[in-house]
Amino acid sequence: MLPTELLAPAGDFSCVETALYFGADAVYFGGPGLQLRATKTGFSLSELENAISFIHAKGKKAYITVNAFAKNAEITYAGDYAAYLYACGADALIVSDLGILTAAKRAAPKLQVHISTQANCTNYLSARTYHDLGASRIVLARELTLEEIAEIRAKTPDTLELECFVHGAMCMAYSGRCMISAFLTGRSGNRGACTQPCRWEYALMEQTRPGEYFPVYEDEKGTAILSAHDLCCIGFLDQLRAAGVSSFKIEGRMKSNYYVAGVMDAYRRAIDGTAPLDACRRALDDITHRPYSDGFYFGTEKLSHANDGLYHADCTFIAEVLDYADGAATVRQRNHFAVGQTLEILSPHSFGLSFPVTSILDEQGLAQESAPHPMQILRINCPYPLQSGDFLKRREK
């Protein structure tokens, strides 16, 4: 049985660095086209090359998302792009479209192809068919239960790997295939430009009574009835592994490097057993998230629609650590903090450490009582030897 892979998202190079620092075995990210995320999360061609080289220098793998549904004019480009990515050393493409799969295998026969969750693979015969067409891995549809995954594993070749999402935002549409955003705003989620109208608040209005809005449940603000909970599988990774999943995927190519750090740290520790599982689960409440659920792995996604569609977090992201020397850390401030407050450390080298802030110095060495300016470079006392790449947070709950 293959070792478990922890697969991290990246929307920019800082997220690539953070993912590897916090223990990712592989990173997935998109290039300049044919990827299902907004343009700002797409790497340029030169950035792709640099990221792939950096990842390989760390002994890890790079998967490139080419998971859009191609139009006629994009098929030739898809083949050329696949050949380019193979020449760059990409370890695999993640694709949804059969045309892109065919074009990629023709242009770069040795380049591995992973079938995206967007392709809605929900049964063993589909999985076998994709394998016959050249796919080496299936990213399973998010609607599957543990029992259904186990059956797919039992009825597919050992050379076909199974990957599943274990954490992050979920789409209420079938494996993410949705036209609501395109209809309401002209921006299609199937082309990487979703405006997330499922997260908006809704109320019921009867046609002959305009202006009279009725909440769908007991909430005067309306309802986010279409808004799915965020997925969180940290409590049953062993069951997913037993069902035949060999790659655990974190959602979040639109997320910050702080988010990547928090999620990766919790899941890396849970997989390796370097921290108590309940502590790892609590750590996931520290980062920005919607209410969590088990997804569909045990059946129904959620038993009620008591989801406000809003983000919650027990901690505030305070600063990125740039350097450490002589009992003080050089940090880049991200949110306000002050002398007298207690900050917690997010680092792959320690767990559960905190310290009181007793001094804050600016770049000129002048003392200040608080840090109100985002992105300011500061020196703060810290009794623990921090490293570049660590983060600081402040507990609010």
Q: pLDDT, tens digit, for every residue of 321-368? A: 999 999 999 999 999 999 999 999 999 999 999 999 999 999 999 999
What does the alpha-carbon distance between residue 17 and residue 53 come to, in Å, rounded to a whole number?
12
Give me the residues of the chain with pLDDT under 70, please: 1-2, 37-40, 172-177, 179, 182-183, 189-192, 214-227, 300-309
The pLDDT score that the predictor gives to residue 224 is: 59
The pLDDT score that the predictor gives to residue 201 is: 73
The three-class DSSP label of residue 190 is helix
Residue with tokens 């060495």: 365
Q: Which residues contact 126 (CB under 8 A, 6 or more apart)?
A: none
Tell me which residue of 278, 292, 316, 290 sits closest to 397, measured CA to CA. 316
What does the alpha-carbon distance between residue 338 and residue 10 come to, in Å, rounded to a whole number?
31
Predicted model pTM: 0.89
Query: What are residue 26's phi and psi, to 5 degrees?
Result: -155, 160
DSSP track, 59-85:
T-EEEEEE-S---GGGHHHHHHHHHHH
Answer whether 312's CB lies under 8 Å from 301's CB: no
The pLDDT score that the predictor gives to residue 218 is: 47
The pLDDT score that the predictor gives to residue 33 is: 85
Residues in the chain: 397
What does the alpha-carbon distance between residue 346 and residue 369 come to, in Å, rounded to a whole number?
23
CATH class of 315-395: mainly beta
What does the alpha-carbon distance between residue 183 and residue 118 come to, in Å, rounded to a whole number?
19
- The CATH 3.20.20.60 domain(s) of the chain lie at 5-170+228-293
- The CATH 2.40.30.10 domain(s) of the chain lie at 315-395
Backbone CA torsion sign across 218, 223, 227, 232: negative
Computed over its alpha carbons, how large is the radius of gyration of the chain? 22
What does the alpha-carbon distance between residue 222 and residue 215 come to, in Å, rounded to a whole number?
5
What's the first-to-final CA gap in the chain, in angstroms? 41
* Number of Cβ atoms within 10 Å of the Cβ of 132: 10
* Number of Cβ atoms within 10 Å of the Cβ of 341: 13
Answer whether 108's CB lies under 8 Å from 100's CB: no
Q: Three-state SS across 125-140?
A: HHHHHHHHCCEEEEEC
Q: Return the CATH superfamily for domain 5-170+228-293.
A: Phosphoenolpyruvate-binding domains (3.20.20.60)
What does the alpha-carbon distance between residue 277 and residue 284 come to, in Å, rounded to a whole number?
11
Answer whether 181's CB lies under 8 Å from 189's CB: yes
Answer whether 165's CB lies under 8 Å from 117's CB: yes
What does the alpha-carbon distance between residue 78 and residue 85 come to, in Å, rounded to a whole number?
10
The pLDDT score that the predictor gives to residue 354 is: 98
